[in-house]
């Protein structure tokens, strides 16, 4: 801690601090994701019914388990801020890296915006005061969390650990409060999910449900952004990411079971607050208030982690001159990418005030799925260029190439599902990335110092 | 109470935003650009975690 408080002297090199452990990695990953249990996943019930929401919980769980396994291997080897951006740069090439960094910044900034809108709307819904708008709560969420991130990564993720843990424990408390071992007392799964209504739109409904099934786990890959700030990346990153994924699989299963057993799928698919509603339906004011507070904490933890991750991806782009180097400044006292944090702050505020929640969520999901598709290709190239034994890996994931193939196939299904619901946004986003790639290739790349960007002390890749 | 909380949120946001702007100005005028942008990727990997097979 003390080292973070001592300002650097003129002439010193200023870099990010290695102060984090596996618990912080867990807090970053689970913190970003857990809000998806409090809202988001349930819209998959609207697409395909309650059973479809359960099927995508498991199948998308498989997608993210593949993401976590692949990410753990590559990041424990390429331990640099920027996460998947640094991986893409070393394994695929600069153009892919530039795009991946933009996927990251878009995914996290739009998720931060969604979190802030959710928090504001939740408070307004609870208050029930005429004329009260969500704007002040949105502003406070984004500015206070940006300030926290500005002041240092250790405190930021300590806070995230506490609020994520409280939100998680609230799900566990709800689960055990409704006597999950007994049907008929509080839970009525056999009455609410019947053979007649389990899949109201058939199997195409299950495919369509993938679009929102992503919300059960969206953002767990964000753990990699801490790579340059963890004390032992080779150990902490795989451990924190895998522990996070296990935690989320349990939370997702508990959440579905409680909510699907208390609400008909027609309501579950449209409510913004499935867990808070479940708390209300128990009839216990204590549970209702606990789930209200937990919804706010989950949104806060997610926005906090998103600010951390988006800023590091932007910072990495500046450091490699993919963007002006001005963005690569590190605060000499707090050791944070302060200019990137400040640059992204008004952008997040602007989107939060003008965008609608569904649009922000869709842009976040789209950027996320583009990134996962890249990861499946990336790991195949990584194993081919640097086979096992040719470089030191912090973690080696088992069953290669099965996770990569599963990930790629599930990404294709998810793209199809997004196309069914938000086809025009999907096309617009792909067109945007295509145009920005042209700008990077024909204009920006000439400013990049080509030799400086590859920093890993690896041997030449096989075949080169 | 909720309306008062709303005003408090605006107040906190403005104070913290101004503090960050002040600190940004102070840092940028105290330290040279070379120092602030001196971070290098892979630096710690190369020094603290020697890459050996």
Residue B30 within a domain: yes
The nearest CA of chain A is from the CA of B27 a distance in Å of: 8
The structure's pTM equals 0.92
Among A1-5, A38-42, A162-166, the range scoring the smallest mean pLDDT is: A1-5
* Domain membership flag for residue A217: yes
Inform me whether the C-beta atom of residue A396 falls under 8 Å from chain B C-beta atoms.
Answer: no
* pLDDT attached to residue A3: 45
Interchain CB contact of B4 with A (< 8 Å)? no
Taking residues A395-421, what's their average pLDDT? 92
Per the CB < 8 A criterion, the answer to whether A72 and A224 are in contact is no
**pLDDT, tens only, B23-33:** 999 999 999 99
Q: Can you give the CATH number for the domain in which A279 is found?
A: 1.20.1740.10
Between A165 and A425, the more confident residue is A165
Q: Per the domain annotation, does B53 fall within a domain?
A: no
The residues, any chain, with a CB within 8 Å of residue B42's CB and separated by 6 or more, are A80, A455, A456, A457
What SS3 state is found at A218? coil
Q: Which of A136, A339, A456 sits opposite B10 (nearest CB)?
A: A136
Cβ contacts of A460 within 8 Å, gap of 6 or more: none
Number of H helices, E strands in chain B: 3, 0
Q: Residue A401: is the preceding peptide bond cis (ω within 30°)?
A: yes
Give me the residues of chain B with pLDDT under 70, please: 43-53
Residues of chain A found within 8 Å of residue B23, distances taken between Cβ atoms: 150, 338
Q: Do residues A32 and A305 touch, judged by C-beta distance below 8 A?
A: yes
Report the range of poorest mean pLDDT among A100-104, A194-198, A290-294: A194-198
Decide if A464 is inside a domain: no
Query: DSSP secondary structure string, A87-147?
Result: HHHHHT-HHHHHHHHHHHHHHHHHHHHHHHHHHHHHHHHHH--TT--SHHHHHHHHHHHHH
Cβ–Cβ of A8/B46 closer than 8 Å? no
The minimum CA-CA distance between B10 and chain A, rounded to whole Å, is: 5
Q: Pick the closest to residue A426 from A406, A443, A412, A446 (CA basis).
A: A412
A461 lies in some domain: no
In this structure, is residue A270 part of a structural domain? Answer: yes
Position B8 scores a pLDDT of 97
Q: Is A392 on the interface with B (CB under 8 A)?
A: yes
Q: Give the count of domains, chain B.
A: 1
Domain residues for the domain of A366 are: 19-447
Average pLDDT on A417-421 reads: 87
Number of domains in chain A: 1
Q: What pLDDT does B53 receive?
A: 44
Output the pLDDT for position B46. Answer: 41
Residue A7: what pLDDT? 62
Q: Is the pLDDT of residue A33 over 80?
A: yes
Q: Give the domain extent around B22.
A: 2-48
In a domain, A74, yes or no: yes
């Amino acid at each position: 801690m003390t080292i973070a408080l001592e300002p650097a002297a003129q002439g010193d090199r200023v870099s990010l601090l290695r102060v984090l452990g596996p618990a912080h990695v867990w807090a970053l990953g689970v913190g970003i994701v857990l809000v998806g249990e409090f809202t988001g996943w349930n819209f998959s019930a609207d697409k395909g019914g309650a059973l479809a929401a359960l099927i995508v919980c498991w199948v998308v769980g498989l997608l993210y388990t593949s993401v976590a396994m692949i990410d753990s291997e590559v990041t424990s080897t390429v331990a640099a801020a920027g996460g998947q951006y640094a991986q893409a740069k070393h394994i695929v090439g600069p153009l892919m890296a530039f795009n991946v960094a933009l996927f990251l910044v878009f995914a996290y900034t739009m998720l931060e915006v969604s979190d802030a809108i959710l928090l504001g709307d939740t408070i307004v819904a609870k208050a029930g005061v005429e004329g009260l708008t969500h704007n002040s709560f949105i502003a406070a969420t984004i500015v206070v969390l940006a300030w926290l991130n500005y002041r240092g990564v250790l405190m930021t993720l300590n806070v995230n650990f506490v609020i994520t843990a409280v939100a998680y424990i609230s799900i566990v408390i709800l689960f055990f409060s409704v006597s999950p071992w007994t049907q008929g007392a509080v839970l009525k799964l056999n009455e609410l999910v019947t053979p007649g209504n389990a899949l109201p739109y058939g199997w195409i409904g299950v495919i369509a449900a993938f679009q929102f099934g992503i919300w059960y786990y969206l953002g767990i890959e964000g753990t990699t952004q801490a790579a340059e700030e963890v004390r032992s990346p080779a150990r902490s990153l795989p451990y924190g990411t895998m522990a996070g994924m296990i935690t989320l699989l349990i939370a997702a299963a508990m959440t579905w079971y409680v909510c699907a057993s208390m609400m008909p799928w027609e309501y579950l698919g449209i409510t913004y607050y499935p867990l808070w509603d479940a708390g209300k339906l128990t009839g216990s004011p204590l549970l209702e208030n606990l789930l209200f507070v937990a919804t706010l904490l989950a949104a806060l933890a997610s926005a906090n982690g998103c600010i951390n991750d988006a800023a590091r991806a932007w910072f990495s782009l500046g450091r490699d001159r993919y963007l002006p180097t001005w963005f690569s400044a590190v605060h000499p006292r707090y050791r944070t990418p302060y200019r990137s944090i400040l640059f992204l702050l008004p952008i997040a505020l602007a989107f939060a005030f003008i965008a609608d929640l569904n649009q922000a969520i869709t842009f976040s999901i789209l950027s996320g799925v583009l990134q996962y598709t890249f990861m499946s290709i990336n790991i195949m190239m990584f194993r081919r260029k640097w086979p096992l034994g040719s470089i030191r890996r912090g973690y080696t994931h088992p069953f290669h190439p099965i996770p990569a193939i599963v990930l790629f196939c599930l990404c294709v299904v998810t793209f199809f599902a997004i196309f069914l619901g938000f086809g025009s946004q999907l096309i617009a986003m792909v067109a945007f990335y295509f145009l920005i790639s042209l700008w990077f290739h024909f204009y920006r790349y000439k400013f990049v110092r080509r030799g400086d960007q590859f920093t890993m002390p690896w041997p030449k890749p096989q075949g080169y | 109470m909720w309306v008062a909380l709303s005003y408090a949120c605006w107040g906190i946001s403005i104070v913290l935003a101004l503090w960050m702007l002040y600190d940004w100005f102070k840092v940028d005028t105290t330290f040279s650009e070379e120092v602030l942008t001196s971070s290098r990727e892979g630096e710690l990997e190369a020094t603290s975690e020697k890459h050996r097979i």
